[in-house]
Amino acid sequence: MFLPSRLLLALVLGLTSVGTFASPLVPRVPHESRSNLPRGWAPVRRAESDLVLPLRIALAQANLESLESFLLDVSDPSSPNYGDHWTPAKVATMFRPSAESVDTVRGWLIQSGIDADRVELASGAGWLVANVTVAEAEELLGTEYFVYEHADSGHVQVRCDKAYHLPEHVSKHVDLITPTIHFDKQVRSVEGRSAKSKIGRLGSGFSPKTKGSVKTIYNGLDKCDVQITPDCLRALYTFYYDPVATDNNSIGVAENTPQVYSPSDLDIFFNNFSVSQVGQRPNLISIDGGTIDVPPGIGFNVESNLDLQYAMALVGKKQPVTLYQVGDYIEGASFNTFLDAIDGSYCTYEGGDDPTYDPSYPDSADGGYKGSLECGTVTPANVISISYSYDEWELSPAYMQRQCNEYAKLGLMGITVLVSSGDFGVSGNGGVCLGSTGSPVTNGTSFAPSFPGGCPYITTVGATQINPGAKVTDPESACMQEIYSGGGFSNVFAMPSWQRGAVESYLSEYSPGYPAGTYNTSGSRAYPDLSVNGANYVVAVQGSFQLVYGTSASTPVTASMISAVNDARLAVGKKPVGFINPTIYSAAFQHAFNDITSGSNPGCGTNGFTAEVGWDPVSGVGTPNFAPSSYFHLPIDEDEELPAEDHPPYTKHLPWISPDTTDSDDSDASSSSPSGSSTPTQTQRPLPPHSPPPPKRSKAVINEILAQNDCYAVLGISRAARIDKSSLRRAYLARSKACHPDKFPDNPEATRAFQKVSVAYDILSKPSSKRSYDSRSQHAPFDFFASRSFPQAEETFRSVVIGVFNDLLDGDLEMVRTLLCAVNNMNPSLQLGEDGINSVLMTLQAIRTRALTCRTCILALHHELTRLLEVQRTFSQLSYFDLRRRSHLTIRLARLTIGLPIALEDALRRERQDEYGEDLKQDRAGVGVGKGTEDGANDAVSDAATLLLNRRVYGLLRTVVSVLERMERLVEK
């Protein structure tokens, strides 16, 4: 009887405990697990059952299934909502955990025996927290807790064994729970210092690679293969830009204490490469006690010195650079520490931190930051450069996924986040490789992907190099000097839609053929996205110059270029580019990159991946070609109105530099021999052969315009009975740019002069108003602002020159389709059909891509679009009842639009003939755009070798143009 009584008692106790602890009958599922312990950790004993744990439950965020589509809606250049970024409030509201999640998880805790008054919901509704004993936690999570000790430091932590479980109905409402399987990366010795010097680098102890002191600095472009300087980078990527919207633009560099920059090193660098910036400092924003006041040492300065010296030099003196210095010297920083500061909804208890990974503040250690954790106290810059990384194997998938989602939210708000891809090829930091279980092992053969490089919602930057002995104008290769560009395939994140085509193309053509398990072949996120030079950087460190290597050099340089694109967009009323990945992977944007086709990123006993044509997991889509990318965003060049032969050998976009002024404030040494902390001797160095003239702002043009009372004098042209329209346009554009308000934001007279120029052009460009103006006495006073209502100058300038051109380059061809359909319906003999129309549209798309890389095409396109604008402007001034002239101009618009490809074809032929002296049989007399003859069109096509258009399409377009011209003549009679 005794044994049955014991069994009966156990059964009764088990039944009565259903209301107190989670029922074993409720189905549970593994929520998070790990296959192996991180290196150095080992269990020493079971945790005491009455030990109290601060249980923290991160609730699943709402609407994450739509996160990528939300991001694409504002980041895909083909989207009608491109650039319509969200406010922080909208982001917070959209992804706040649902009431159902809060109620489900709270109900589970209470039903499991946790008193309701012990369960708290954070103010941001992102976390539920409760203090529980080890016994309660083990029952809740279906696991066992142990005390683990680190072999090097003796540091102990209480963690569960391998995995924890949740009821199935609860699991879907939870992201992660702590403390559970995650181990503290911030391993500190008993003295409070790291057992392994982290040097501010997240997840590793690896700074950029250095290679000894530089004895002689080469400031020209003939030694860029052995020393990279700011001028080398400008020449490599045609990156010449003078910012004009600096009050609205921002660029930030994140650094983690104790990695700090040295002000004296910054001045030594500027003294050699950007004299005007000597004494300039980044705008330091301290986050959680971040400071540059730490003990000196080369290991503590190289990263931050590198980032800031090049970011500041490349954006120039006028564009401030923000330094986010994160964490105190004792506790350090993590990615989440930074994310906390720029997004209050992400802080501990409110959406992101895991105290087992992330430092906790206040820091009680001597010298630690005693303030509270900063949450939402910092405004993020438009573009942020981060040169730090973990390996994926070091973190749990739930932790990485939650943080990756935060990067997507930053993209929704219009923020570009750039992260280095790593310096060890396909290996992890320090050359770590993985075994079959996914944990690091000696002689491992599986690749170790990087985080956050593998997150699809950031832009990952790899590294290239100028090959030894090559010129700065020669193609680069993947970086294989001292470091290997990090790249590969994530083991956590799925492949995003915007890179699927590029990645699948690479794998189908250039698959390395490695054994199964070498890397993730299931269709995962691939990286890097793009690359920039990362070898032989000349960096001032502790009073002397060193050569530095790493993707952490490539990242701030890329940020500088994105900042320039943002500046150009902001200058004309557009928004920052935000998340750029959908754009750079688009076919329409491939002209903006230099394809890298040589080199590899070896590791783990393999050659890694190889750089090939198109995207590859070594260099991404390639290195930026800044000039064409600017054309994509802002297709207006200061020199576009010049004859083609007068164009300088550089292309510069919207810097608003007066051609008759200079301001040379940088005089740099041609060579120097630094030693110790001394500053090398400076001598005047000529500007690089491709660099634009330095800018100088002058009020002379404004004063000259305001002093004139004559329309001709305002535009700077001579009075004449007839004025060539192209000459008038050139005069208008030159004067408008010279006094543009964006160039003089603090001078209200610039706006007045700008409007005056617009009035003058408006009067002289119309025959009727010009005749009326010319009939008055030349000596009679003329009040530009009182005699007539002047046009909206800003609207005229931007819409005419920028708006229409951008619309065409953005690829909106629906208008062309409508016109072709209408012409086909009116002239059945054409027999275009749907296939013919689609063929024309496909050709136009190809033309658009080619035009962006052809200077002659840009000029021809600009000329033809100007003619279109003239017709459109005349059209808008007609009476609605003037049906004949409206019909006439409608046909002319159609003719000029469809004739654009013909103009580009002719431009390409002229360029080829001028460059190579080829005889292209350009027998097209009487077949110019808009001047075609029905008899000569097909003959010309048969005699000429087309360069851009399919011959059938060319002939079809010629025929359509001829038909439209006949129609135009008929209506005009």
Q: Which residues contact 406 (CB under 8 A, 6 or more apart)?
A: 339, 343, 346, 351, 352
Other Cβ atoms within 10 Å of 828 Cβ, number: 8
Cis omega (within 30 of 0) for bond into 617: no
616 marked ligand binding residue:
yes
Cα of 692 vs its chain's centroid, Å = 25
Question: Is 340 marked within a binding site?
Answer: no
Are 719 and 781 in contact, with CB atoms under 8 Å apart?
A: no
Q: Rounded CA gap, 547 and 210, in Å?
A: 6
Distance of alpha carbon 793 from alpha carbon 795, whole angstroms: 5
906 is in an annotated binding site: no
Tally the C-alpha atoms within 13 A of residue 350's C-alpha that lie toward its C-beta: 16
- Angstrom CA distances, 291 to 284, 286, 294, 373, 726, stand at 9, 6, 7, 15, 58
Give the largest CA-CA distance in the chain: 128
Strands 459-465 and 477-478: what pairing?
antiparallel
What does residue 43 show for φ and ψ, rounded to 5 degrees?
-75, 140
Q: Cα 861 to chain center, whole Å?
A: 28
Of residues 414, 409, 444, 417, the one with CA closest to residue 428? 444
Dihedral sign for Cα atoms in the order 265, 269, 275, 276: negative
Name the amino acid, one letter, at 162.
Answer: K
Amino acid at 645: E
Total residues belonging to the chain: 973
Task: Report DSSP state, residue 17.
Answer: G
Residue 186 dihedral angles phi and psi, to the nearest 5° = -85, 65
User: Quick one: which of 898, 872, 889 has its CA closest to 820?
Assistant: 898
As a whole number of angstroms, the distance between CA 274 and CA 230 comes to 9
User: CA-to-CA distance for 288 and 177, rounded, in angstroms?
Assistant: 24
User: Is residue 596 marked as binding?
Assistant: yes
CB-CB contact of 661 with 743 (8 Å): no
Cα 139 to Cα 60, 157, 259, 624, 815: the distances in Å are 22, 20, 43, 55, 66
Tokens 């270029």, located at residue: 561
- The answer to whether 359 and 337 are in contact (CB under 8 A) is yes
Contact residues for 863 (Cβ-Cβ < 8 A; gap 6+): 726, 903
CB 620 within 8 A of CB 530: yes
Instruction: Choose among 219, 195, 207, 312: nearest CA to 265.
Output: 312
- Catalytic residue IDs: 303, 307, 552
Torsion angle of C-alpha atoms 760, 765, 767, 769, degrees rounded to 10: -30
Residues that constitute the known binding site for Ca(2+): 595-596, 614, 616
Residues that constitute the known binding site: 595-596, 614, 616
